[in-house]
């Protein structure tokens, strides 16, 4: 989409360095909102910090994004999930949905701030890197709103499902990773629409 070097390995490394703080902001946002809604689990686990160490998932934060970047595929990843105990919430279903959506919203807010405050003041290589940072945050938001467990979008469906439907959906959750794996590596181009959506959002947030 946009490049700042002809070396794909260097570009993949830069993408990972951009992705890591983006997914940390995402996970910390989950924990902060859960804490405000009555669940102190993330705070007690030391996860309300921007220190990368407690959050990094070797596969989801480093290996997978690097492979996707080298393959010129849609780039996304994840950190270790922030622990949440819905039993602490007054309304577990609704508050879990609010906690979930906080992650993608944080990425959209971060992308918008960068686009409005930082990007217009730059030119050259730094501009391209900030453009990547904006784009990757928007891509993370799109990816995480897919209604596939354990992604954040899967926490919104119980809001509209009847009790029987919620139970059936809970049974489906154990297969969520298999579905994601198939979409990523078996059905070529199945998630290609995410880049299109992220580019559409990019055109909106950049003045």
Is pLDDT at 1 greater than 60 in this prediction? no
Three-class SS of residue 76? coil
Our answer to whether residue 27 is catalytic in this structure is yes
pLDDT higher for 11 or 204? 204
Each residue of 43-79: pLDDT tens digit? Answer: 999 999 999 999 999 888 888 888 877 777 666 677 8
Mean pLDDT, to the nearest integer, of 109-138? Answer: 89
Each residue of 19-35: pLDDT tens digit? Answer: 889 999 999 999 999 99
Q: Count Cβ atoms within 10 A of the Cβ of residue 184 and give its class: 0-12 exposed, 13-18 middle, 19 or more buried.
A: middle
For the chain, percent of residues with pLDDT exceeding 90: 47
Each residue of 85-100: pLDDT tens digit? Answer: 999 999 999 999 999 9
Virtual torsion, Cα 5, 6, 12, 13, nearest 10 deg: -50
Catalytic residue among 27, 90, 128, 203: 27
């Amino acid at each position: 989409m946009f490049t700042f070097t002809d070396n794909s390995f260097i570009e993949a490394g830069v993408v990972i360095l951009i992705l890591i703080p983006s997914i940390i902001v995402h996970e910390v946002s989950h924990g902060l909102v859960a804490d405000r809604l009555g669940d102190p689990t993330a705070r007690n686990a030391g996860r309300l910090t921007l220190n990368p160490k407690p959050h990094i998932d070797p596969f989801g934060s480093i290996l997978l994004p690097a492979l996707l970047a080298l393959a010129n595929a849609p780039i996304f990843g994840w950190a270790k999930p922030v622990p949440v105990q819905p039993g602490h919430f007054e309304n577990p279903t609704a508050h879990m949905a609010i906690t979930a959506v906080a992650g993608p919203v944080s990425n959209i807010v971060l992308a918008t701030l960068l686009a409005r405050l930082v990007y217009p003041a730059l030119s050259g290589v730094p501009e391209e890197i900030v453009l990547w940072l904006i784009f990757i945050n928007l891509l993370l938001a799109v990816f995480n709103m897919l209604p596939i467990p354990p992604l954040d979008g899967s926490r919104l469906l119980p809001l509209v499902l009847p009790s029987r439907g919620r139970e059936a959906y809970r049974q489906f959750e154990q297969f969520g990773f298999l579905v994601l794996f198939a979409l990523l590596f078996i059905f070529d181009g199945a998630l290609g629409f995410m880049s299109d959506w992220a580019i559409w959002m990019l055109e909106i947030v950049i003045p």
